[in-house]
Structure 1
Amino acid sequence: MTKQETKQAFPAGFLWGGATAANQLEGAFDADGKGLSTSDMAPFVPKELRNGKDFTFDVNSVELEEFLGGNTDVYFPKRNGVDFYHRYKEDIAMFAEMGFKVLRISMAWTRIFPTGEEEVPNEAGLAFYDNVLDELLKHNIEPLVTISHYEMPVHLTQKYNGWEDRRLIDLYLKFANTLFDRYKDKVKYWITFNEMNMILTSLYTGGGILEDKIKGSKEQVAYQATHHQFVASALAVKSGKEKMPNAQIGCMICRLETYAASSKPEDVLQTLKEDQMNLFYPEVQARGEYPSYMNRYFEENGIELVKEPEDDAIIKDNTVDFIAFSYYMTYIGKYDPNDNSNSGMLVSQVKNPHLEVTEWGWPIDPIGLRVALNRLYDRYRMPLFIVENGLGATDKLEEDGSIHDTYRIDYLRRHIEQMREAVADGVDLMGFTSWGPIDIISCSTSEMGKRYGFIYVDQDNAGNGTLQRYRKDSFDWYKQVIESNGQIL
């Protein structure tokens, strides 16, 4: 190996794999005692009815009652997923064939506690995840478990309006501790919450909160709910480390590297402020305290967090071991004198003319990933883990069963090249789990046609299809990437 190759190599033991979420993957929404989750209430909205929106996952209280009452002919794709619940052995065998070192999964809260308030967990749900973990370990695949990934029991949304209510902390801890006690000998890597900053975009998705039922402004509720999650996450870290001294427990955000629209100082300052709204989340969980810029923001915007006396100490004493993040795109910050708020939205309204976009309008920026890795590591000096990155695209199944997704290979190649550069820069990067290693239901639009996987699943947006699995061209490509530890791209 040449000096240049050595410089750009990924470290030994680098965790290559894929990432999934129970609510988009498993299906079997009413099997073996499972209760209904907030994601089970997300309907499919055809593109022509979205009014230009790429995010259709919000649900209000009226819609929720209609959906629960069955008085609708709406289709709910996440209830069926891609039937991983019954096909997990087949799917895991295919992940093993690619050489996965790690698989990121979540464990559906409603499989363990169907309403969230049961005193005794559902044994059938626990047994299912025992089987999944055993299958992974049989193939030498490390599980990376996200405790809460957009799948709160609907009962908790109805009774407490989700994380708006502090009582969710104890209910979440009961769930987390049940997982720790049951799987402590099988799982080393944990994440407390998926993309915690999502709550700024969707109260329902990130917090199980019905916006038309909130008490106070949306922003006030979003940050109060965030505080409750911070305390719950810190207490989970504390308990997890006591029960599993060798475990590594991380936090996670959706990372939106932010560029100024121009060199105009006002744009640069606005960009800093928007970036801080992202960095605020790992700031609290990795450093253990609210940053001064957020305290000023709260004061100037009339946001008053209700805290218990012990909250700050709990957060301070129980910081995470690593920072995980998703990366799909970069964001443009532009000062608007008529709107000084920080947007917190996932897709900027200001377009970057230097970047191409996906079919769904998401900017493609591989270099931005290197920038994000360096900025996060420079700021926190803590191991990083890319736990989501990938390309959502329309794939065509040929008559011979092949899928020629060269566009996905190109996308991932360019991003992995920049990861390799970041490692050469000195970034401590633990691993990379490509989002949706098998086609699953889209989080944002609940459609099947937006595919990310190396494995094609025969199912359409209406749920029709055989569910047969097919290897795409990217399957063999990623297998080679893993075999060479990122040297052959």
Structure 2
Amino acid sequence: MVKREEFLRENDHNEDASVSRNDFPPNFVFGVATSAYQIEGGCKEGGRGPSIWDAFSHIDGNIIDKSNGDVAVDHYHRYMEDIDLIAKLGFDAYRFSISWSRIFPDGLGTKINDEGITFYNNIINALLERGIQPYVTLYHWDLPLHLHETMGGWLNKQIIEYFAVYADTCFASFGDRVKNWMTINEPLQTAVNGYDTAIFAPGRCQNTRIEPYLAAHHQILAHAAAVSIYRNKYKEKQGGQVGIVVDCEWAEANSDKIEDKSAAARRLDFQIGWYLHPLYFGDYPESMRERLGDQLPKFSDEDKKLLLNKLDFIGLNHYTSRFISHVTENAGGNYYYKVQEAKRTVEWEGGETIGEKAASEWLYVVPWGIRKVLNYVSQNYATPIFVTENGMDDEDSDTLPLHEMLDDKLRVRYFKGYLASVARAIKDGVDVRGYFAWSLLDNFEWAQGYTKRFGLVYVDYQNGLSRHPKSSAYWFSRFLKAGENKNGKEQ
């Protein structure tokens, strides 16, 4: 196992490192991020059709606190207030997602919902009026329910055509002002949690050896189709760029043994190579082909032509890291994890955890991991990178007074540590162009409902959804306004 002191010394890691805005290039973008289903609400307003998350969250037992996103934090009615908050805190950019079923209520692309177009036009225009650049995600998990019920959603190859029509419509409607597009957010989570573990919508676990890989396959091709449309029809006139957002825990080998190092490399293939390899090399990583065989779909020659070089940038969502060791018998967990033959652990050799634990059981504060994963992506897939999500959660509490909930000291430490590591990665030569904190607001945290709070801004669920910036929001505001000197002391 890894010895903590030796590892941190060898990796030049100072846990109390200071960080300043001056540690980043002058044109580096700092933003905050959200997603439509987690914040909008207004589920039956403005012509919006139902999504798979509307259906999934209303099934008893799927959401830990029996909640849903029908109202969420009511961004649908309060977007001006929220955009004012982004401006006051001093962020350059706002990453948000468009709800497919607000544009096409049935997902089919036959009739545009003008009210949905107006809603997102209003958001985009309000951002630009305040000098905030919109970074828009086309798909953040909320597939129109009609597509799932009538054709199997991501399991049907026809979904590629429907997504292409949807993307085309968004480029045509918003691309004169939106210059940074992301097609699909975390396709890994849709594939594994939607079609294997079933803890996310659509909640399927019927054929876990086939369906996750089919859903992933169609998401990759849908991304490539959307990029192809943008480049052929819009790029020359609009001048924007299109990327995909992948998520990755850093996988650190648990020892110097070759089998543990191979397991860590395999773990990265199954997370990030699954989606980036096809877009760079025209096929899945060899380690996936070896373990999955014919369960992994094949790309035709035509598919490969569509896929190659269909990326202007990589969006990386990163929260935490794990130690990885090789196992041959992995009895626990679902098929996706078993087939990797890679055991994930969170302890150093002496038994101490890899970092402080946040609220979610999977999330530990491991700042050095983001530097490693950024270097890995840069070395294996040479494209500009945006850190499109990074953050941590607190447990919701009915008993703590508001002032204690707002004083989120661990989140401040988290952002300081992770931003210092991003700055180190840039010094290593990694082409990182921007960083988006997750999340602007406390919100509907998928299967965890409203029990976990990721926001820089506290939302009071008991008192009219009022917004209250936390200590981390004020820290970020000072950081962005160069309110820390080189020694990291607040002025």
Mark yes or no: TM-score above 0.5: yes
Whole-Å separation in 1 of the counterparts to 2:410 and 2:287: 40
2:23–2:423: 8 Å Cα contact kept in structure 1?
Answer: yes
Q: Does 1:415 align with 2:418?
A: yes
In structure 2, the residue corresponding to 1:320 is in which secondary structure? coil
- Residues 127-174 of structure 1: CA distance to partner in whole angstroms, max 9, x if unpaired? 000000000001111111111101001111111121110010111111
The residue identity in structure 2 corresponding to 1:350 is: T
Task: Name the CA shift for 1:293/1:75 in 2 (closer, same or farther; >3 Å).
Answer: same
2:246–2:316: 8 Å Cα contact kept in structure 1?
Answer: yes
In structure 2, the residue corresponding to 1:263 is in which secondary structure? coil
Task: Name the CA shift for 1:201/1:107 in 2 (closer, same or farther; >3 Å).
Answer: same
| 1:351, distance to aligned residue in structure 2 (A) | 2.6
Q: CA RMSD in A?
A: 3.0
Whole-Å separation in 1 of the counterparts to 2:215 and 2:199: 9
Whole-Å separation in 1 of the counterparts to 2:30 and 2:199: 27
Residues 152-301 of structure 1 correspond to what in structure 2 (within 5 A)?
A: 152-204=143-195, 209=202, 211-212=204-205, 217-242=207-232, 243-245=234-236, 246-284=239-277, 286-291=279-284, 293-294=286-287, 296-297=289-290, 301=293
2:20–2:484: 8 Å Cα contact kept in structure 1?
Answer: no
1:9–1:424: 8 Å Cα contact kept in structure 2?
Answer: no
| 1:114, distance to aligned residue in structure 2 (A) | 0.9
2:101–2:144: 8 Å Cα contact kept in structure 1?
Answer: yes
In structure 2, the residue corresponding to 1:272 is in which secondary structure? helix
1:369–1:418: 8 Å Cα contact kept in structure 2?
Answer: yes
Aligned to 2:9: none
Whole-Å separation in 1 of the counterparts to 2:286 and 2:443: 39
Aligned to 1:473: 471
Task: Name the CA shift for 1:40/1:33 in 2 (closer, same or farther; >3 Å).
Answer: same
| 1:45, distance to aligned residue in structure 2 (A) | 9.9
Aligned to 1:383: 384
Task: Name the CA shift for 1:97/1:304 in 2 (closer, same or farther; >3 Å).
Answer: closer
| 1:104, distance to aligned residue in structure 2 (A) | 0.4
2:21–2:482: 8 Å Cα contact kept in structure 1?
Answer: no
The residue identity in structure 1 corresponding to 2:223 is: S
Whole-Å separation in 2 of the counterparts to 1:456 and 1:120: 38
The residue identity in structure 1 corresponding to 2:408 is: D
The residue identity in structure 2 corresponding to 1:480 is: R
Whole-Å separation in 1 of the counterparts to 2:447 and 2:329: 29
Aligned to 1:456: 458
2:135–2:181: 8 Å Cα contact kept in structure 1?
Answer: yes
Give unpaired runs (5+ residues) of structure 2.
1-17, 348-352
- Residues 27-62 of structure 1: CA distance to partner in whole angstroms, max 9, x if unpaired? 10110111111122343899xx8xxxxxx579xxxx
Match of 2:407 among 390, 404, 413: 404
Task: Name the CA shift for 1:252/1:156 in 2 (closer, same or farther; >3 Å).
Answer: same
Task: Name the CA shift for 1:302/1:235 in 2 (closer, same or farther; >3 Å).
Answer: closer
Task: Name the CA shift for 1:147/1:344 in 2 (closer, same or farther; >3 Å).
Answer: farther
The residue identity in structure 2 corresponding to 1:456 is: Y
| 1:402, distance to aligned residue in structure 2 (A) | 7.8
In structure 1, the residue corresponding to 2:358 is in which secondary structure? coil
Whole-Å separation in 2 of the counterparts to 1:139 and 1:7: 21
Residues 295-334 of structure 1 correspond to what in structure 2 (within 5 A)?
A: 296-297=289-290, 301-303=293-295, 305=297, 307=299, 309-316=301-308, 318-334=309-325
2:34–2:438: 8 Å Cα contact kept in structure 1?
Answer: yes
Count residues in correspondence.
453
- Residues 180-203 of structure 1: CA distance to partner in whole angstroms, max 9, x if unpaired? 000111100011100112244212
2:326–2:343: 8 Å Cα contact kept in structure 1?
Answer: no
- Residues 255-310 of structure 1: CA distance to partner in whole angstroms, max 9, x if unpaired? 11102233333222222211111232443354141145157326x53325255552
TM-score, reference length from structure 2: 0.84
Aligned to 2:8: none
2:327–2:343: 8 Å Cα contact kept in structure 1?
Answer: no
Task: Name the CA shift for 1:389/1:486 in 2 (closer, same or farther; >3 Å).
Answer: farther
Aligned to 1:14: 28
Q: Does 1:343 align with 2:337?
A: yes
Residues 61-210 of structure 1 correspond to what in structure 2 (within 5 A)?
A: 75-204=66-195, 209=202
| 1:377, distance to aligned residue in structure 2 (A) | 1.1
Aligned to 1:431: 434
The residue identity in structure 1 corresponding to 2:156 is: D
| 1:208, distance to aligned residue in structure 2 (A) | 5.8
Whole-Å separation in 2 of the counterparts to 1:164 and 1:419: 37
Task: Name the CA shift for 1:407/1:45 in 2 (closer, same or farther; >3 Å).
Answer: farther
Whole-Å separation in 2 of the counterparts to 1:173 and 1:14: 31
| 1:6, distance to aligned residue in structure 2 (A) | 10
Query: After the TM superposition, which of the residue ranges 327-336 and 168-177 deviates more from structure 2?
Result: 327-336
Percent of aligned positions that are identical? 27
The residue identity in structure 2 corresponding to 1:37 is: S
In structure 2, the residue corresponding to 1:186 is in which secondary structure? coil
Match of 1:483 among 456, 481, 484: 481
Task: Name the CA shift for 1:184/1:275 in 2 (closer, same or farther; >3 Å).
Answer: same
Task: Name the CA shift for 1:195/1:474 in 2 (closer, same or farther; >3 Å).
Answer: same
| 1:237, distance to aligned residue in structure 2 (A) | 0.6
Task: Name the CA shift for 1:292/1:451 in 2 (closer, same or farther; >3 Å).
Answer: closer
Task: Name the CA shift for 1:301/1:85 in 2 (closer, same or farther; >3 Å).
Answer: same
Whole-Å separation in 1 of the counterparts to 2:201 and 2:136: 20
Aligned to 1:52: none
In structure 1, the residue corresponding to 2:452 is in which secondary structure? coil
